[in-house]
Structure 1
Amino acid sequence: MHASKIVSFLALLASATAVSVTRSPNAPVGNGNKQLTFSDAVIDNTLSPRSASSFSWLAATGNSTADGEYLTKNKAGDYIRASVLTNKTTVTVKASQIPAGTSLYAVDKYMRTIVVVGKPHRPEYLDPLLYNYWVIDVATGKSAPLMAGQNNDIAAVQLSPSGKAIAFIYKYNVYVWKCGKVTQVTFDGSRDLYHGVCNWACATDNIGGLIFSPDEKQLAVVSANNKDVYDYPVDFFTQGEDLTTDKLAPQYPHNILRIYPNAGAKVIPKPEIRLIQLKNGTAITRIPIDEYDGSNILDGFLWATDAASTFVYEILNRVQDKAKIVAVDAATASKTLIRERAADDNGWLRSDSFDVNAFIGRVAGKSANYIIEVAEDDGWAHLYLQAIDGSDRIQLTKGEWEVRSLLSVDTERQVAYFSATKQHSTESHLYSVSFDSAADSVTALVGEEPGYWSASFTPSAKYYVAAYQGPNVPYQLVYKVGNNEALAVIQDNAALVKLLDSYSLPNISFYEMKHPDGYTMNVKRIVPPNFDPSKKYPVLFQPYGGPGSQRATKAWTYYSWVPYVAADPELSFIVYIIDNRGTGFKGRKFRSPIVGQLGKLEVEDQIWAAKELLATTPYLDANHVTFWGWSFGGYMASKIAESDTGVFTCALITAPVSDWRFYNSGYTERYMKTPDVNPAGYDARAVRKTAGFKNMKGGVAFTFGTADANVHPQHSRVVLDNLVGDGMLPSKLKTFEFTDSDHGIKYHGATRFLYRFLTERLWDELQRTDKVHQWSQPEQVFAANASAPAKGSTPEDYAADSGMKALYMEGVVF
């Protein structure tokens, strides 16, 4: 939790007073004349709501019996103990005692120990992410480095439940801090054996692989064996060059090697599990991961015990259409199969399903111990109780809607709290379900009017902070479980409501489009202020479209670049965000058909939607229809251009995938299988045809970061080379690569430049004419014989050209 976001939470109402915040169910449109500017949207970020993304909840102690207390900072920078129920606060660590330049990383619920983390010292996409950490003893206020001599080289820090111990990774090995003493507990770590990390695709996707048992007697360590896994070099050029301080770039660029197996790689990382007895640190039990022949992918794990008796993990086969949940006896290392599942619809298994498991223990009327999980047994994501011995399975929720997130479990009262799409797939509402309820009997916690909600529950699950997240201005309220009247306002964003009212804002609406094949797609539409249906407006499609994703939701729309291009009178684009087949929260039947053919059905849906809208909406200008996407959305934009349908006139392509052979195996093979099993699918879904790009009236623009360790620059550069080689005209091909930027394109002010560049491209599209200059006439460059150099590509050709001969002779051109 970032302390700056919750400083204002301290002016709370007493718990006996019912309060409320009133919002219309629609996004704000403003009531004034101020225009949403580029600076508002991209630079200043003044139109964003304030809220707490999470709470560092604390348990009741000898000095405090009140539920609902949490750790935060006050305006002076002190760490304080505050309450969502009262306005009482207590300073626990003074600002002068907190290491400078750090932010809160973790605190145990008894508030014995606070762990703070420093800022990353390099703009590099490291694997895993490495930082400096400090430990603050709350009783004394004293702080010390987690590791003496640390130099931004610590990863996977895990604070124990009691706050008395900290596990972490230092130079690939596991260490444990306890009462200021650090002990090394593994000695075999290396670059080939990453302890504490069990995923490799992106550093930001790594699953923390250190878990203390509830009694803190054992530590589960999940590792990735990377021996013989392919490395991908990521190049860096500037190394923080700063002309204002005379700091110069190095004479030679350098690179870091990222473990990155592409689709079809012979070897992918192998997961390993070790259970370590912390009393002596030398008793290590290795758990073999061999459920599937060949390659196994670890999806999640937890201690399913109140002590240290049982460890549970879920393992997937390489293409992630089969899974097993396995229980391990920590004393004997014997394994029991709890449950096996398979995607019988040719789809894939949710890779995040096990992450929302929790240990329940005994359920009333049952003899076994249970875990709770989100699974798709009936084609929709629902809550289930699963006996650890495999003897019983109970479905708690049911229907043609999906559970978004398991929020909390009250094991004492045997109730689970969750968010779900029960009202509509674009929405999120809060519910509870009892362990002994019928599967279709759930209770709504807050109003079910159209909107998007999440919640954070106190440790006892007796109170919760309900966060309204859209479509109107977000706010947060405190509720007591069982009482539908709010007790306190955490944040109402009243100042932002007043500020937005002074603007004339784009109008945001939501609806569905029904496809002739019978399915529906969710649509989010943004139209300019003062919209006049008698006029013609240019169109921007801006989906993401990737598997399991969702963009057309009723969550808050930040007034960033996309709303800006609708609001600026010089642009006035109507924006459509449409969730095609393959996207999430509409059941497996809507999601699974894309397997083996990524980008085919998704693009077909976007093209159909564009044709349908242009045919039925007279105020859309069919001569100016742009498609912009980032990452998978960039891949979609590329395939839109390649499709050569004539529907879209311009494509903005940011950090795109272009060939699934180039992307990481964990993601790609989940949806495409392996290249040896699906060679035709890989060939068909690569971006290789150039005619559609060349025929696009307004051309295309590529943008990407040179240090993108996720979607490598190779993707863009291969397509660009094909386009140039096939005679793409410079007037129709723009590109900008951002030096040392990763997939987020942020390094050295890149974000502002990116959006200025994209805005210029939209402006160019609106100013486009059909005039053809002598130098911009199409030509066929490829030689008839593909092995022969194209005309004009050899030194002799340059010398034979009368305009180049003199320069060639003088050695200027070579």
Structure 2
Amino acid sequence: MKRTFIFSFLLLGLASALTAQNQKITLEEIWGGAFRTEGMDALHSMNNGQQYSVLNFDRNSRTTSIDKYDYKTLEKVETILSSGELDGIQYFQSYEFSEDESKLILATEVESVYRRSTLGVFYVYDIESKKLTKISDHKIQEPTFSPDASKVAYVLDNNIYIKNLEDNGLAQVTSDGEKNKIINGVTDWVYEEEFSFVRAFDWNKSGTHLAYIRFDESEVPEFSMDVYGQSLYPTQQVFKYPKAGEKNSEVSLHVYELASKETSNVDLGNAYYIPRIQWTSDKNKLSAQVMNRHQNDLKLYFYDAKNKESKVILEETDEAYIDITDNLTFLNDNSFVWTSEKDGYNHIYLYSKEGELVNQITQGDWEVTNYYGFDQKTSRIFYQSVENGSINRDIYSIGLNGKGKVRLSSGNGTNDAVFSTDFTYYINTFSNARTPYKYTLNRAKNGKEIKEIVTNEELRSALTNYELSEKEFSTIRVNGNDLNMWTIRPKDFDSSKQYPVLMYQYSGPGSQQVANRWNSSNDYWYQMLAQKGYIVVCIDGRGTGFKGADFKKVTYQELGKYEVEDQIAAAKQLASLPYVDEERIGIWGWSFGGFMSSNCILKGNDVFSMAIAVAPVTSWRFYDTVYTERYMRTPQENASGYDDNSPINYASNLKGDYLLIHGTADDNVHVQNTMRMAEALIQANKQFDWAIYPDKNHGIYGGKTRLQLYTKMTNFIDQHLGDKIEESLELKEIKN
């Protein structure tokens, strides 16, 4: 009896283990956070280069603290500040040190405005005296210390103010700010979204001058969105949104002198855009990057605040467009580091303070993908690149003279770094398709790993219980190009059977979806679909990034032409494979990807039988100036480029099953796109499915929204691609 019991127990255990290894992924797990990775909170490297600070939140007491850690030991050294010590503040949501680390700005009651902009109630905390000072009784934007931490500049109601922390005096720098008309010191909607910054003012090195951009959006057309909310009557959100070909804000650059309280206008010629301003290492020299409307002529100006003269130091032109970056770095002598695609690939250059080229620091038929900074002490540049293949990322250092390059990372996949202030250490984040995020402490000199910080071994172990398929990387030859591709097949894939295929798409200019990195939430969804019997494929076609300027910019003035041609051609190749059911090839995408999936099912209606488009652009005439005109010029100049590639003009081509999804509060890609697409399909007498999410923005999230959304998409895929999976598999076997 005893032996029988043990044997039965072993059998039960074996059965349980086998069952565990075949556990199926569910949508509830994906959107409930079951596969969330452990990471590191954003850290601030202290000036000494040996320590860093992190914002920690205590869930039990609901208090926050700023804690200091040692790089060498990773042990906590001290608590700089806890909200439990403060009167009137239960917790703060973020913090910022002054340059000398003597004071902190604490953010409370933060609320979002748009993608990057926020409003909040802010305080200054003096670390030595422990004095807490409220900056303003109102919700303000972008409070920023002067270099000596004696003042804070901020924006309130589109005007700039400077608070003197020593005597609580308040200086109003501008007074003409007005909603939907004049903005001083922070960006308008389109600058924030497309030039990726909010704070449009900057202190000089001595704190004697404040430079700022003024936006006159008086003549920019207004866009309004209904907000349904919970009240009896909906409200409207009205804001300035310049659509392609319409008027932009008129921008101007100004410098305010604190001593005289005088404001000077900076002459920038016929500047149409001012996407970056930055004071140089010289306290009197302000730099400004200026572009024309086509964004193919970039000028770097130096303005001398002393003699009030401006001069073009550097100019770059391109037949297509020039991307704006945050890589401009001034050395002590005011020479500067700059990145450019002028040799056909994105590389790092060194220029003298007069704007003369000293040397090209990096070169080769590969791209620099991130610039980390310059170590003045060792005269070395730190950067990330795709030297090890366009789907991988590695970290390197190199001398300012372009010699002595050292590869610091070792793992084959995606490496990223956060360096200590003095470039002694860096925290490396590594992942690939098989390895969840791993954080390690490394020496910046040689990349040597000092110790592991976070490994995500618990997640890796938990995933061994699931039926997961390998993400296979390859290339596919399409229209004369070798395109990067990944494939996820069912775990029990059998080449003698036939499977439906779902293609995922984005393809926005310079983007990348085929990358050797750890799973996003969508990857788990693809695994779930593979468990159901689908093959999931993603291909980065022409126009995507990190393979050189020519490959990326071939789509100029024709967004949606070559990208769609590549997806259709790739789908035809997939359809020719013996294990693919050519009658069941679907495609889906979000935003630019929704634009792509819509075009694919319309222009490739003989290949694609199903498409899902989430928050799609359906005509580039509806999208904003900065993004659209960068790649298309204006509709007035390039009407055919706009109309020949807009899904709303091909509604009559629809043959397959089409699901259209949008949030009504999408301030980015307006629901107007979906409404006009729906009307075009209705007038073409085409049947389609759609889902509208009330008061949801471009991300369509909140509460159980994502779970409901992905349940809807999964059901749609099952209904139109998967309802005959078993039949297809059995039919193939019979044929064989």
TM-score normalised by the chain length of structure 2? 0.89
Deviations 1:469-506 (CA, angstroms, capped at 9, x unpaired): 32311111112222342112221222222222232223
Do residues 682 (structure 1) and 642 (structure 2) align? yes
Change over 3 Å in CA distance of 1:500–1:426 after alignment to 2: same
Change over 3 Å in CA distance of 1:198–1:287 after alignment to 2: farther
Cα separation, 2, equivalents of 1:74 and 1:161 = 29
Cα separation, 2, equivalents of 1:626 and 1:45 = 27
Give the residue type in structure 2 aligned to 1:555. R
Of Structure 1 and Structure 2, the greater strand share is in: 2
Change over 3 Å in CA distance of 1:422–1:638 after alignment to 2: same
Deviation at 1:343, TM superposition (A): 0.9
Give the residue type in structure 2 aligned to 1:412. K
Q: Which residue of 2 aligns with 1:72?
A: 55
Q: Which residue of 2 aligns with 1:111?
A: 101
Deviation at 1:659, TM superposition (A): 0.9
Q: Which residue of 2 aligns with 1:454?
A: 416
Is the contact between residue 585 and residue 721 of structure 2 (CA under 8 Å) also seen in structure 1?
no
> Out of 596, 599, 609, which is 2:560 matched to?
599
Q: Which residue of 1 aligns with 2:270?
A: 291
Give the residue type in structure 1 aligned to 2:163. W
Deviation at 1:331, TM superposition (A): 1.3
Cα separation, 1, equivalents of 2:721 and 2:51 = 54
Cα separation, 1, equivalents of 2:314 and 2:192 = 30
1:360-399 matches, cutoff 5 A: 360-362=331-333, 369-399=334-364
Cα separation, 2, equivalents of 1:708 and 1:758 = 19
Deviation at 1:516, TM superposition (A): 4.3
Give the residue type in structure 1 aligned to 2:210. L
Q: Which residue of 2 aligns with 1:404?
A: 369
Q: Which residue of 1 aligns with 2:217?
A: 226
Question: Matched residue of 1:685: which SS?
Answer: coil
Cα separation, 2, equivalents of 1:419 and 1:510 = 21
- The alignment yields a C-alpha RMSD, in angstroms, of 2.4
Deviation at 1:217, TM superposition (A): 2.1
Deviation at 1:689, TM superposition (A): 4.1
Cα separation, 2, equivalents of 1:161 and 1:606 = 52
Change over 3 Å in CA distance of 1:336–1:645 after alignment to 2: same
Do residues 583 (structure 1) and 544 (structure 2) align? yes
Cα separation, 2, equivalents of 1:499 and 1:410 = 41
Deviations 1:621-679 (CA, angstroms, capped at 9, x unpaired): 22221111111111101111220431111010111101111111111111111111111
Do residues 567 (structure 1) and 525 (structure 2) align? no
Deviation at 1:31, TM superposition (A): 9.1
Q: Which residue of 1 aligns with 2:733?
A: none
Deviations 1:593-618 (CA, angstroms, capped at 9, x unpaired): 11111100000011111111221x32
Do residues 752 (structure 1) and 707 (structure 2) align? yes
Is the contact between residue 469 and residue 530 of structure 2 (CA under 8 Å) also seen in structure 1?
no
Question: Matched residue of 2:648: which SS?
Answer: coil
Give the residue type in structure 2 aligned to 1:677. E
Deviation at 1:544, TM superposition (A): 0.8
Cα separation, 1, equivalents of 2:185 and 2:395 = 34
Do residues 622 (structure 1) and 613 (structure 2) align? no
> Out of 239, 242, 259, which is 1:258 matched to?
239
Deviation at 1:692, TM superposition (A): 5.8
Deviation at 1:582, TM superposition (A): 0.8
Deviations 1:240-284 (CA, angstroms, capped at 9, x unpaired): xxxxxxxxx22221112121111111x21122212222345x122
Is the contact between residue 185 and residue 199 of structure 2 (CA under 8 Å) also seen in structure 1?
yes
Question: Matched residue of 1:235: which SS?
Answer: strand
Deviations 1:113-162 (CA, angstroms, capped at 9, x unpaired): 2223235557x6489532333333323445443312x2xx4223323445
Q: Which residue of 1 aligns with 2:154?
A: 168
Q: Which residue of 2 aligns with 1:790?
A: none
Change over 3 Å in CA distance of 1:119–1:489 after alignment to 2: farther
Is the contact between residue 605 and residue 655 of structure 2 (CA under 8 Å) also seen in structure 1?
no
1:197-216 matches, cutoff 5 A: 197-201=186-190, 203-204=192-193, 205-216=196-207
Is the contact between residue 397 and residue 442 of structure 1 (CA under 8 Å) also seen in structure 2?
no
Give the residue type in structure 1 aligned to 2:276. G
> Out of 465, 481, 485, which is 1:523 matched to?
485
Cα separation, 2, equivalents of 1:190 and 1:596 = 36
Q: Which residue of 2 aligns with 1:474?
A: 437
Is the contact between residue 321 and residue 343 of structure 1 (CA under 8 Å) also seen in structure 2?
yes
Give the residue type in structure 1 aligned to 2:493. F
Deviation at 1:740, TM superposition (A): 0.8
Is the contact between residue 193 and residue 226 of structure 1 (CA under 8 Å) also seen in structure 2?
yes
Is the contact between residue 391 and residue 514 of structure 2 (CA under 8 Å) also seen in structure 1?
yes
Do residues 420 (structure 1) and 385 (structure 2) align? yes
Change over 3 Å in CA distance of 1:32–1:126 after alignment to 2: closer
Which deviates more from structure 2 when the two are superposed, residues 628-637 or residues 67-76? 67-76
Is the contact between residue 97 and residue 141 of structure 1 (CA under 8 Å) also seen in structure 2?
no
Cα separation, 1, equivalents of 2:398 and 2:653 = 52
Deviations 1:60-97 (CA, angstroms, capped at 9, x unpaired): 3xxxxx62332432757432111221224201212413
Cα separation, 1, equivalents of 2:66 and 2:513 = 36
> Out of 620, 625, 633, which is 1:660 matched to?
620
Deviation at 1:537, TM superposition (A): 2.3
Q: Which residue of 2 aligns with 1:342?
A: 317
Deviations 1:418-444 (CA, angstroms, capped at 9, x unpaired): 001111111110011111234xx5221
Deviation at 1:211, TM superposition (A): 1.4
Structure 1 stretches of at least 4 aligned residues deviating more than 6 Å after TM superposition = none
Cα separation, 1, equivalents of 2:476 and 2:148 = 52
Deviations 1:318-341 (CA, angstroms, capped at 9, x unpaired): 011111111111212211111111
Change over 3 Å in CA distance of 1:155–1:764 after alignment to 2: same
Q: Which residue of 2 aligns with 1:37?
A: 26
Give the residue type in structure 2 aligned to 1:111. E
Deviation at 1:38, TM superposition (A): 1.2
Cα separation, 1, equivalents of 2:662 and 2:57 = 40
Change over 3 Å in CA distance of 1:465–1:375 after alignment to 2: same
Q: Which residue of 2 aligns with 1:500?
A: 463
Is the contact between residue 199 and residue 206 of structure 1 (CA under 8 Å) also seen in structure 2?
no
Do residues 487 (structure 1) and 447 (structure 2) align? no
Change over 3 Å in CA distance of 1:421–1:349 after alignment to 2: same
Do residues 145 (structure 1) and 107 (structure 2) align? no
Tell me how many residue pairs correspond in the alignment: 694
Give the residue type in structure 2 aligned to 1:269. S
Deviation at 1:409, TM superposition (A): 0.9
Do residues 301 (structure 1) and 277 (structure 2) align? yes
Question: Matched residue of 1:46: which SS?
Answer: coil
Cα separation, 1, equivalents of 2:115 and 2:399 = 44
Do residues 726 (structure 1) and 684 (structure 2) align? yes
Q: Which runs of 5+ in 1 are unaligned?
A: 1-29, 61-65, 239-248, 363-368, 770-814
Give the residue type in structure 2 aligned to 1:197. V
Do residues 510 (structure 1) and 473 (structure 2) align? yes
Cα separation, 2, equivalents of 1:437 and 1:608 = 41
Deviation at 1:219, TM superposition (A): 1.6
Do residues 554 (structure 1) and 516 (structure 2) align? yes
1:695-710 matches, cutoff 5 A: 695-696=655-656, 699-710=657-668
Give the residue type in structure 2 aligned to 1:688. I
Question: Matched residue of 1:404: which SS?
Answer: strand
Is the contact between residue 82 and residue 89 of structure 1 (CA under 8 Å) also seen in structure 2?
yes
Question: Matched residue of 2:600: which SS?
Answer: helix
Do residues 356 (structure 1) and 327 (structure 2) align? yes
Change over 3 Å in CA distance of 1:259–1:473 after alignment to 2: same
Question: Matched residue of 1:641: which SS?
Answer: helix
Q: Which residue of 1 aligns with 2:140?
A: 154
Deviation at 1:39, TM superposition (A): 1.6
Q: Which residue of 2 aligns with 1:713?
A: 671
Question: Matched residue of 2:355: which SS?
Answer: coil
Deviation at 1:342, TM superposition (A): 1.0
Is the contact between residue 67 and residue 76 of structure 2 (CA under 8 Å) also seen in structure 1?
no
Cα separation, 2, equivalents of 1:484 and 1:399 = 22
Change over 3 Å in CA distance of 1:458–1:512 after alignment to 2: same
> Out of 123, 126, 134, which is 1:134 matched to?
123
Question: Matched residue of 2:647: which SS?
Answer: coil
Change over 3 Å in CA distance of 1:474–1:746 after alignment to 2: same
Q: Which residue of 1 aligns with 2:4?
A: none
